[in-house]
Amino acid sequence: MKKKKSGAVWMILPLYIFTIIFVAGPLLYMVALSFAQPKAGHGVEWIFTLENYKKILDPVYMQTFTGSFKLALTSTLFICLIGYPFGYFMAKLSDKWKKRAMIFLMLPFWVNSLIRLYGWMIILQTKGLLNHALKSLGLIDKPLRILYSYPAIVIGMTYVLLPFMILSVYSSAEKLDWSLVEAARDLGAKPFKAFWTVSFKLTLPGLLSGVILTFVPSMGLFFIADILGGNKIVLVGSLIQEQMTRGSNWPFAAALAVVLMILTTLMIMLYRKITNAKELEGVG
C-alpha cells in the first residue's frame, strides 16, 4: 500500500506547513524576541540580553504579576465555591434533568462573552439594576460603586469561567458510585462525614482539574479587567497589550508572554498528571 502512504503525505502537508509557519514560527519568534533589545518605535536590536527578564523582577511589574495571580486566585476560589456544589448537585439529578441542565449550562457558554459581560455592566452600574433592587429593599441608602472596581472584575471572571469548573466537577461526580456513599452511611457515618470521606475525596480530581481550567485563562483574560475594571487594575494581560501597543517595548512584552506561557504550560502539565491519576483511579 505504498500509494496510500504517499497520498497521506500530501494530505498532511498543508497542516504541516501551516502549523510550522504560523503556530511554531510566531512562538519561537516570541522566545527570540524576549532576549533582544528594544529600540525606539517598534524596532528591535538583535543583541542578546537578559534585561527583559530582569525587568519583570522590578517591583512595579512584579506587582502586576502578583496582582494578576491574586485576582486569578480570588476568582478561582469563588468559582470553586459556586461551581463545586453546582456540579455535584447536577450529577445527582435524574437523567432527564441532567440532560436539561446540561443544555441550559451550555447555552450561555455559546453567547458571545462580550455580550454577557455587557449585561453585567448594565446590572452593576451605579444607577443599575442591582443598586435599584438593593435600594428598594431598603438595604442601602447610597448606591454602591461596584462597576469599575475589583469586585466587578471578580464577578466577571467568575461568571465567564464558571462553566469550566461545573463541567469538570460534574464529569467526575457523575462517575461517582453513589452506593459508596450509602455504604458509608450504612456503616454509621453522619451525612457530612460520609460526604467528606467518600464523595469529596472521589470528586477531588474533578475539582482540581477545574481549578486549572479556570486559573490558566484567568491570567490572560485582560478584556474582562478592561471592561468591568475600567483600566484601573493592571493585569499581566493588560500589561502585555499595553507594551505591544502604546509602550512599544516588544521584547519586554515577549518576555512577559514567555513567563506567562511557562506558567500555563506548568499548569497544563499538572492538569495532565491529575487527569492521568484520575484515570488510574477509575481502573482501580
Partner 1 sequence: MKKNSKLSGFYLGLIFVLMYLPIAVVIVFSFNESKLPVRFTGFSLKWYQQLFSDSAMIEALGNSLFLGVVSCLVSAVIGTLGAVGLSRIHWKTKGALEYISILPLMIPEIILGMVMMAFFYMLNLPFGMLTLLIGHTVFCVPYILMEVKARLAGMDPSLEEAARDLGAGPFRAFWDIILPLIMPAVMSGSLLAFAMSMDDVVISIFINGPRLSTLPIKVYTQIKTGVTPEVNALCTIMLAVTILILLIYTAIGKITGRNQKNN
Partner 2 sequence: MADTCLELKNIRKSFSKDETVLKEISLSIGKGEFITLLGSSGCGKTTTLRIIAGLEMPDSGQVFLDGRDVTALPPEARDVNTVFQNYALFPHMTVADNIGYGLKLRKVPKAEIKKRVSQMLELVQLPGYEKRKPSELSGGQRQRVAIARSLINNPKVLLLDEPLGALDLQLRRIMQLELKKLQKKLGITFIYITHDQEEAINMSDRIAVMNHGTFEQIGSPDEIYNHPKTSYVATFVGNANILKGKAEELEGDKVRVSLAGGSVLAAADGNTPAKAAPVTLAVRSENIVLDESCQRGLLAEVVEKSFAGGLLRVVLKLTDGTEVIASRYGIDASVQPGQNVTCFFEPENAVLVDVEKESGAES
Which of these segments, 25-33, 52-60, 73-81, 134-142, binds partner 1 (CB under 8 A)?
A: 25-33
Q: What are phi and psi of 223, to 5 degrees?
A: -70, -20
Which residue number, 51 or 281, has a Cβ lying nearer to partner 1? 51
**Least distance (Å) from partner 2 to the CB of residue 3?**
6
Q: Which of residues 173-232 bind partner 1 (CB under 8 A)?
A: 216-217, 219-223, 226-227
Q: Please state at what angle helix 222-229 crosses helix 150-174, rounded to 10 degrees.
A: 140
**Alpha carbon distance, N-terminus to C-terminus of the chain:** 41
Q: Which 3 state secondary structure label does DSSP give 44?
A: strand
How many whole angstroms separate alpha carbon 143 and alpha carbon 56? 39
Which residue number, 11 or 139, has a Cβ lying nearer to partner 1? 11
Residue 14 found at the interface with partner 1 (CB under 8 A): yes
Amino acid letter for position 159? Y
Q: Which of residues 100-119 bind partner 1 (CB under 8 A)?
A: 101, 104-105, 107-108, 110-119
Residue 246 found at the interface with partner 1 (CB under 8 A): no
Residue 134 found at the interface with partner 1 (CB under 8 A): no
Which residue number, 5 or 127, has a Cβ lying nearer to partner 2? 5
Binding-site member from 37, 241, 248, 275 for partner 1 (CB under 8 A): 241
Q: Which 3 state secondary structure label does DSSP give 282?
A: helix
Residue 40 found at the interface with partner 1 (CB under 8 A): no
**Least distance (Å) from partner 2 to the CB of residue 95?**
25
Residue 244 found at the interface with partner 1 (CB under 8 A): yes
Q: Which of residues 3-42 bind partner 2 (CB under 8 A)?
A: 3
Distances 251 to 38, 59, 78, 246, 258 between C-alpha atoms, Å: 6, 19, 35, 14, 10
Residue 201: CB atoms within 10 A of its CB come to 12
Strand partners, 38: 44
